[in-house]
Amino acid sequence: MNEQSVFPEDLPDRARVVHAAQAGGTEVLVPAEVALPEPGPHQVLVETAAAGVNFLETYQRSGVYPMEYPFVPGTEATGTVLAVGESVESLSAGQRVTTMEAATGTYASHFLVDASKAVAVPDEVTDEQAAALPLQGITAHYLMNSTYRVAPGQTVLTHAGAGGVGQILTQLLKAKGARVITTCSTEEKAQIAQAAGADYVLGYENFAEKVHEITKGEGVAAVFDGVGKETYLGSLESLAVRGTFVLYGGASGQVPPLDPQDLNRRGGLYLTRPSTHWYLRNAEERSWRYAELFESLTSGDLKLSIGASYPLEDAGRAHDDLENRRTTGKLVLTP
Residue 157: what pLDDT? 98
> Same structural domain for residues 141 and 271?
yes
112 and 144 share a domain?
no
Q: Are 148 and 126 in the same domain?
A: no
Instruction: Report which secondary-structure segment, H or E, holds 79.
Output: strand 77-84
What pLDDT, on a 0 to 100 scale, did the predictor assign at position 37? 95
d(CA 324, CA 327): 8
Looking at residue 326, what is its pLDDT? 83
Cis omega before residue 70 (within 30°)?
Answer: yes
The reply to whether 77 and 203 lie within a common domain is: no
Q: What pLDDT digit, counting tens, does each position of 89-117 carry?
A: 999 999 999 999 999 999 999 999 999 99
Do residues 122 and 229 both lie within one domain?
no
- pLDDT of the residue at 315: 98
What is the domain range of residue 26? 8-133+304-334
Same domain, 155 and 269: yes
Q: What does the alpha-carbon distance between residue 211 and residue 236 come to, in Å, rounded to a whole number?
A: 11
Domain for residue 3, yes or no? no
* pLDDT of res. 5: 40
What's the Cα-to-Cα distance from 22 to each of 68, 70, 72, 105, 282, rounded to whole Å? 9, 6, 11, 15, 34
85 lies in the same domain as 126: yes
Q: Is residue 292 part of a domain?
A: no
- Evaluate whether residue 91 is within a structural domain: yes
Q: pLDDT, tens digit, for every residue of 268-326? A: 999 999 999 999 999 899 999 999 999 999 999 999 999 899 999 999 999 999 988 78
Partner residues linked to 47 by β-bridges:
80, 110
At 27, which CATH number?
3.90.180.10
Q: What is the pTM of this model?
A: 0.92
Residue 2 falls within a domain, yes or no? Answer: no
**Which pLDDT value is given to residue 9?**
60
Contact 132, 237 (CB under 8 A): no
Indicate whether 114 belongs to any domain: yes
Secondary structure of residue 131 in the 3-state scheme: helix
- Residues (pLDDT < 70) of the chain are 1-9
pLDDT of residue 111: 98
Number of separate helices (H) and strands (E) present in the chain: 10, 15
Same structural domain, 124 and 173: no
Domain match, 323 and 240 both: no
DSSP assignment letter at 197: T
Mean pLDDT, all residues of the chain: 94
| 124 and 140 assigned to the same domain | no
CA torsion, points 320, 326, 332, 334, in degrees to nearest 10? -70
Q: Name the domain count of the chain.
A: 2
Backbone dihedral angles phi then psi of residue 258, each to the nearest 5 degrees: -110, 145
Beta-sheet pairing, 96-99 with 270-272: unpaired
In a domain, 186, yes or no: yes
